[in-house]
Chains A and B, each alone.
Chain A
Amino acid sequence: MSKRKVKETHMPVGECISQVQMILRERFCHQRLPEKPVGMESQHKHLLELLRRTAVHGESNSVLIVGPRGSGKTMLLNCVLRELLEVKDVNKNVLPVHLNGLLQTDDRIALKEITRQLNLENVVGDKVFGSFAENLAFLLEALKKGDRSSSRPVLFILDEFDLFAHHKNQTLLYNLLDVSQSAQAPVAVIGLTCRLDVLELLEKRVKSRFSHRQIHLLSSLSFIQYLDNVRSQLSLPQDFPDTKFYDEWNDSIKTLCEDQLVVDVLQSHYNSSKDFRSLQLLLMLALSRVSASKPAIKPTDLLEASRVCMVDSKANILHGLSILELCLIIAMKHLNDIYEGEPFNFQMVHNEFKKFLQRKSHSIHNFDKPVVIKAFEHLQQLELIKSMDSSTAKIQKEYQLMKLLLDHSQIMEALQKYPQCPTDVKQWAMSAFG
């Protein structure tokens, strides 16, 4: 057997970088499925076994996959489905029906969608004929006519399952779970939801037909596993055309993950949330700084990306206010301190501001009341203050009670960063009693 010499292909750096960007972006943005999901082996096995029983042996089942946002529920389900559909018989027989609570907001729409996806006889082209009752009867008949040996198994995948529980009478859920309980066409109902208390939302008759099987995805990665995940997410796959670049890149990623600065950044991210999605956001921001002139990810990139992720948006908004608006916010802060968080109205704020102007200020001009009202209304539009009551009683706008939606520490921090803040304003903010 002759040994074939592997021809080494070298591409220019720009092209390599494009390839790298494409591969990594597919992973982070398009949620391309990994080879196997990280940290959920037992859940994977459990779900695969369940679906195999439906698809191959014809047993009806229902299961709920529960986990917080971004913990990998859809990823798990898609990995399991991919593995399931690799079996030849299964691929030909199984009928998947995908429903989403955000799109199918009504039972009628949901029913039409099911009929369309199953391609039943009352669908011509794209249009579904018949009323809701007729469609429901037709669907149920179609499902009930079969039996375990001769009809095709149907997989109902309900995304955002908790939203289906808000439909009227929970008709759809009742009927689907009913079919899954009775010995008819093999049906698997798989719900994905982010609410841990989803069973409380179900009516009694629906809950009793549910098999109470729940798969929880409360991410239990340790920090070491998290770091490994980062490394594998950033590494290139084996089949990258340019081997030299592939080695260089993977080595740089390895050194990156051992750098102390990077470990600290990842530790702080891990402490606030362990889910995959926020990690992908961070890595995406770091990736966007990679270019032909800088063909590697440096620790400063990750640091900068982390800073962008963790910034306080309200502080950014406070940075852009005019000095008059800032004075009004400081006046409101003083009112909150004196009256311990009781709501205030514009007259009180104006009064406080005038006291400051009379006693302590040299740099702020005495503005007319309408100009101050305009600044106050701008703050209201930015939703930094909110009106307390939305009652219909007509109160003049200067006397409407408002509440400040900023924290004491946010205001003080914003003051430190405010560009060219006059010193008398700063001193007024830091003094104890206006």
Chain B
Amino acid sequence: MAAQLQHLGYEDEKLQRVMERLPCRDVQASMLLALMGEQCSYPSIFIYGHRATGKSHVIHTLLKELELPYATVSCVECVSVGLLFEQVLLSLFGSDSASLLSRSPSLSDFVRVYKQLCVQASAKQTRYIVLDRAELLRDMEANLLPAFLRLQELVEDNVTVILLSEIVWDKFRPNTGCFEPLLLHFPDYSKGELQQILSEDSHPSYSPELYSAFINILLGVFYSVCRDLRELRHLAALHFSKFVEPLEQGKESDTHKLWRNIEPHLKKAMQTVYLREVSSVQWEQQLQMEEKEAGVVRGLSAHAHVELPYYSKFLLIAAYLASYNPARTDKRFFLKHHGKIKKTNFLKKHEKTSNHLLGPKPFPLDRLLAIFYSVVDSRVAPTASVFCQISSLVTLQLLNQVGHDDQLDAPKYKCAVSLDFILTISRCVYPMLYCPLVTDWNHCQTPASAAL
């Protein structure tokens, strides 16, 4: 590796140090160094790859350790183009250069100021401009991306623009084309490489083998779902203390038993911390409490702890029934004496696909009230308080209003909650599960309707 890059004129020990900080990324780093070269490089390089594959890390390590002149900007931070220009000029030319730009500079101003500053401080080496999260450049002004790709030509200076992104280049190309950059791919880490990298931050008081065994277990649970290095590191950091708890308490020391201890926690983590339903702080507290004391984890999107008034629950159940049952079946479900229904061709052709797959359908207010009155178990007068609750359900976004706000006489609604939520509500309302919920004529019968 070092022999290959010797001609570039960097010191061997610097290169060695750089390579140590970039595990499993030697091939990409040496390819980048070879492309950057000694004197000048291609005007623009586009590096793409999944999240946490080390794109920014490799670039920044190379540029910093080898002390090359560079400017790095994350496009997420640049709400306006002026911020982007200012950052670039500040990093490349020093702190008083950005003041030469006007209030809200255009690209023309930026190029002009850059040319001026170049004249005063000509480049002995290639300057690098690194744009992170470059996919956001597409949403800024239309001329920004093509101009940055050919910045070398426009400012007549030895500068290379490096774009880092998660999204492939084919999605970036403007309509009439642009200067095609050099494409470089950072492949994802394999399972072995992930193991190697994660094992590097082992705790100093435990042996590396123990930590490797722990990482192995973690990967076994999470690898099929998530291959993002950052997430796995976060999960490893959260769970290691729980893993070694039996060791500290002196109870177990066999890896197999330690695994049995930690596995249910990891599985539970997949439902909560991995989904960011609970914060890491909550999770750590959870892990420290004894199992008997631990209550149910209150997640962010757990609807189950939303408290609704009595009639609102019925209204919501009625809304769900109205959304997912076709209107013709109301008579059968909700009237005590319904007429005969022909068996053949009962379901129209378009209803054959389960309503569960297509989503809720809109229904008028009258239908909602009709179902409500038949579902609720006591006599309810149509007072304003009932109607008010419908509006509050809309505000809580448990119902969606379809159509224009102006339609006062016949507003239409759609139910916006899932079956699980309705089942949770109906469990408090009906002691036994008696809801004539949606029946799926073809395949999966919902558990509630099976209880009919």
Contact = CB atoms under 8 A, between A and B. Distances in A.
Chains A and B form a bound pair: yes
B156 to A, nearest CB: 10
B49 A320 contact: yes
Interface in B191-243: 191, 223-227
A103 B108 contact: yes
B304 interface: no
Q: How large is the interface on A (under 10, 10 to 19, 20 to 34, 35 or more residues)?
A: 35 or more
B53 interface: yes
A17 B176 CA distance: 38
Interface in A373-387: 374-375, 381-383
Contacts of A163: 143
Interface string A296-312: 00000000000011010
B6 A348 contact: no
A291 B225 contact: no
Interface stretch (B147-155, B251-259, B289-297): B147-155
B7 A17 contact: yes
A22 interface: yes
Q: How large is the interface on B (under 10, 10 to 19, 20 to 34, 35 or more residues)?
A: 35 or more
B180 interface: yes
Secondary structure at the B interface, as helix, strand, loop or mixed, is loop
A17 B360 CA distance: 69
Nearest to A104: B108
A316 interface: yes
A195 B177 CA distance: 10
B3 A25 contact: no
B416 interface: yes
A371 interface: yes
Nearest to B272: A370
Interface stretch (A243-251, A255-263, A394-402): A394-402
Which of A324, A370, A398: most chain B Cβ within 10 A?
Answer: A370
Contacts of B141: 105
Given A322-B224, A371-B275, A292 B7 contact: yes
A293 B6 CA distance: 9
Contacts of B158: 30
Contacts of B434: none
Contacts of B245: none
A122 interface: no
A324 B225 contact: yes
A162 interface: yes
B320 interface: no
A365 interface: yes
Interface string B108-125: 100110001000000000
Nearest to B110: A103
Contacts of A68: 177
B67 interface: no
A371 B225 contact: yes
Interface in B156-197: 158, 166-171, 176-180, 182-183, 185, 187-188, 190-191
Interface stretch (B32-40, B326-334, B338-346, B424-432): B32-40
Contacts, number: 182
B396 interface: no
Interface in A315-354: 316-317, 319-324, 345, 347-348, 351
A382 B48 CA distance: 11
B449 interface: no
B380 interface: no
Contacts of B448: none
A289 interface: yes
Interface in B1-55: 3-7, 9, 31, 34-35, 37-43, 48-50, 53
Nearest to B277: A370
Contacts of B39: 21-22, 25
Contact of B271 (A109, A322, A368): A368
B6 A103 contact: no
Interface stretch (A37-45, A142-150, A180-188, A277-285): A277-285
Nearest to A374: B275
B351 to A, nearest CB: 16
A314 B166 CA distance: 11
Contacts of A74: 153
A69 interface: yes
A383 B171 contact: yes
A368 B274 CA distance: 12
Interface in A224-269: none
Contacts of B41: 25, 29
Contact of A382 (B107, B166, B170, B225): B166
A285 B35 CA distance: 7
Contact of A347 (B31, B177, B359): B359
B271 A293 contact: no
B7 A322 contact: no
Interface in B340-377: 356-360
A28 B185 CA distance: 21
A393 B397 CA distance: 13
B146 interface: yes
A195 B176 contact: yes
Nearest to B397: A394
Which of A100, A381, A419: most chain B Cβ within 10 A?
Answer: A100
B357 A105 contact: no
Contact of B42 (A101, A284, A320, A322): A284
A320 B227 CA distance: 8
Given A30-B158, A194-B177, A322-B225, 20 more contacts: A21-B37, A21-B38, A22-B40, A28-B42, A30-B40, A102-B147, A103-B154, A105-B143, A109-B106, A291-B4, A291-B5, A291-B34, A292-B7, A293-B4, A313-B183, A317-B48, A351-B357, A368-B270, A370-B277, A371-B225
19 contacts: A18-B38, A21-B7, A25-B37, A29-B42, A29-B43, A100-B154, A284-B42, A284-B182, A288-B35, A293-B4, A313-B185, A323-B225, A347-B358, A368-B271, A370-B277, A371-B270, A371-B271, A382-B166, A394-B397
The 8 closest A-B pairs by CB, nearest first: A320-B188, A399-B359, A313-B168, A292-B7, A288-B34, A103-B108, A69-B177, A320-B50
Interface of B: 3-7, 9, 31, 34-35, 37-43, 48-50, 53, 106-108, 111-112, 116, 141, 143, 146-147, 152-154, 158, 166-171, 176-180, 182-183, 185, 187-188, 190-191, 223-227, 270-271, 274-275, 277, 356-360, 397, 400, 402, 416, 418
